[in-house]
Homo-oligomer: A and B are copies of this chain.
Amino acid sequence: MSRMTSSALSTASADALTSLRRNTPLVQVITNRVVPGFTANVLLALGAAGAMVDIPVEAGPFARAAHGLLVNLGTPGAEQREAMLEATEAAGDAGTPWVLDPVGIGSAPVRTPLAHVLVARGPAIVRGNASEILALARAGSGGRGVDATDAVDAAADAATAIAREHGSVVAVSGPVDLITDGTRIARVDNGDALLTRVTGGGCALGAVMAAFAAVADPFEAAVAATASYCLAAEDAAARADGPGTFAAHFLDALARIQPADVRSRAAIA
């Protein structure tokens, strides 16, 4: 990708952040039991808002009105699975952009087939680590819970294949994040290892992508979300003494980060 294009993506990311702050998109969050609080705090800090509406009968109507939707498969009980199906159907019908995070799929006997059903509905963005993206392309061996045991680059082909088959942007998280729409590939080389020591570091990024997808096209949204999020992690790491203080400073940094920071500091290739 030429320097020109990288620069254009940095500018587009900065503009998307401006737009997000102006519109305060409301994201419907259907996520696992571990991360709802952190996810909601991330959205609020950044300038969006989250609402966890994950019960049947309510999930569908809400998905029509929300500006974005996250479906995270971490701990999908029976009611939540029903809510996921209801919400994604309504989102598809109403044009609400949604993000699929296929947490821990591979050998997981409930989540894996559910992820395949959901990806076939064409989410705007699919976000996962390399193991999960490989598993979603039916090419992987499964990860161990939420860790990535496969390298990001190994998942590039799988990501491209999913993007082309389902018309989704696919974002693969790792030391360098990879984002593709099946044609273009962007790499974002920002962030800090402390982000991997805080639970929900990846899960909350899915919600941020849903917030950006409300104000930008899916490819730019995934890039802007990754860049903003990872830059805030860099700022937080500079102040932190460990993963506990990092989490607090990270929320502060999300609230403080400016479009100009994204334009100047995002390392997008």
Contact = CB atoms under 8 A, between A and B. Distances in A.
A44 B197 contact: yes
Interface in A239-262: 240-245, 247-256
Given A109-B58, A198-B44, A242-B256, A49 B147 contact: yes
Nearest to A45: B243
Interface residues of A, number: 61
A107 B55 contact: no
Interface in A82-113: 104, 107-111
A255 to B, nearest CB: 4
Contact of A26 (B52, B110, B145): B145
Contacts of A34: 36-37, 40, 52
Copies in the complex: 3
Contacts of A245: 248-249, 251-252
A167 interface: no
A185 interface: no
Contacts of A144: 26, 51, 65
Contacts of A58: 108-111
Given A110-B55, A145-B26, A252 B243 contact: yes
A200 B51 CA distance: 11
Given A33-B52, A77-B55, A252 B247 contact: no
A253 B242 contact: yes
A54 interface: yes
A199 interface: yes
A243 to B, nearest CB: 5
A206 interface: no
A107 to B, nearest CB: 7
14 contacts: A26-B145, A32-B52, A33-B33, A49-B147, A52-B75, A53-B104, A53-B108, A61-B107, A62-B108, A78-B79, A197-B255, A240-B252, A244-B250, A244-B252
